[in-house]
Amino acid sequence: MPGPFDVAVVGSLHLDIMVQAPRLPGRDETLIGSAWHRKCGGKGGNQAVAAARMGARVGFGGAVGRDEFGVLLHDHLLSVGVDVSLLETDPTRGSGMSVAVEEEGGEYGAVVVSGANRGIVTEGLADRWAGLWAAPVLLLQNEVPEEANLAAAEAARARGARVVLNAAPARVASDEMLALVDVLVVNRVEARMLTGEDGEEALRRLHDPGRDVVLTQGPEGLMVMSRDGSMGHVPPFPVAARSAHGAGDMFCGALGARLAAGEDLLPACAFAAKAAALHVSMTEEERAALRYDRVAG
């Protein structure tokens, strides 16, 4: 059986096609870009890689297609030390992929085709991926069906794990799912989509005595409402941003790694915010070399 793990991740894998352009195209517009490259992504994969780079032993549960993209995604996780022994191959669906357009200022927009990520078989999932549930932290996102998240959260909670849900992309979560979440992480867009509110009022609407809520605010830092109703704030870590792509995933992966190491929520959020800030300031090559020691130093 695989393991032991510090962080278990159940989530999506996408092969991202990144296109550089002066801005996002308008409807019916053909815009001339300047360059493109591909990178391994998906929120699940990104967060697993981030947690591994931040020093955690990481196990991954998810699915790819029987295609070249699937091989690339599998090998990428393996290359950074993520355990992929439970990664499944869907015989009928292609691997997940996305196309993202990066603007010159670093912002981006993306279209995702979920493929095999939508076909994770939930029946028997708790038994098939039993090696994941002993990890003290389970990271989940919203790029796989809620049924898969629910099955994973139930199995992990039964073993005493702390469940962290990054509610991205935003979607309505069932009461059953939310009852299993120990830490809910949202950004400003997701918070407004879920509550219709911003800032502290959004936190209050998302708060529950059974969970902590983290609201990331990019260059404005982040806010935390603990399950006891107390508020905390982490100021921004000043950097010159190159690209915001993947910042949220770096934050969540780093947060999961520090929580698994026994750190309290607010200092774990401060560490994760610094990791995300460094991430957005770096080139792709520099990001690949970002490790725990650089963030902790």
Q: Does 2 map to a domain?
A: no
Active site residues: 249
Nearest of 284, 287, 290, 289 to residue 36 by alpha carbon: 284
Classify 101 as helix, strand or coil: strand
Chain-centre distance of CA 217, in angstroms? Answer: 16
Q: Does 102 map to a domain?
A: yes
pLDDT at 1: 67
Q: Does 47 map to a domain?
A: yes
Q: Does 201 map to a domain?
A: yes
| Helices marked H in 222-264 | 247-260
Cα(69)–Cα(173) distance, integer angstroms: 30
pLDDT at 131: 96
Residue 152: give the domain boundaries: 12-23+32-296
Residues forming beta bridges with residue 49, ordered by sequence position: none
CATH code, 170: 3.40.1190.20
Cα(188)–Cα(201) distance, integer angstroms: 12
Q: Where would I find the beta strands (DSSP E) of 55-208? A: 58-61, 63-65, 88-90, 96-102, 108-113, 137-141, 162-166, 183-187
Q: Does 212 map to a domain?
A: yes
Residues of the chain with pLDDT under 70: 1
pLDDT at 297: 86
pLDDT at 15: 97
The answer for residues whose C-beta is within 8 angstroms of residue 119's C-beta and 6 or more apart is 63, 90, 92, 93
pTM (two decimals): 0.92
pLDDT at 266: 97
Digit-coded pLDDT (tens) for 114-171:
999 999 999 999 999 999 999 999 999 999 999 999 999 999 999 999 999 999 999 9
Q: How many residues does the chain have?
A: 297
Residues forming beta bridges with residue 118, ordered by sequence position: none
Domain tally for the chain? 1
178 exposure class (CB count in 10 Å sphere: 0-12, 13-18, 19+): middle
Q: Does 5 map to a domain?
A: no
Q: Does 6 map to a domain?
A: no
Cα(267)–Cα(261) distance, integer angstroms: 12
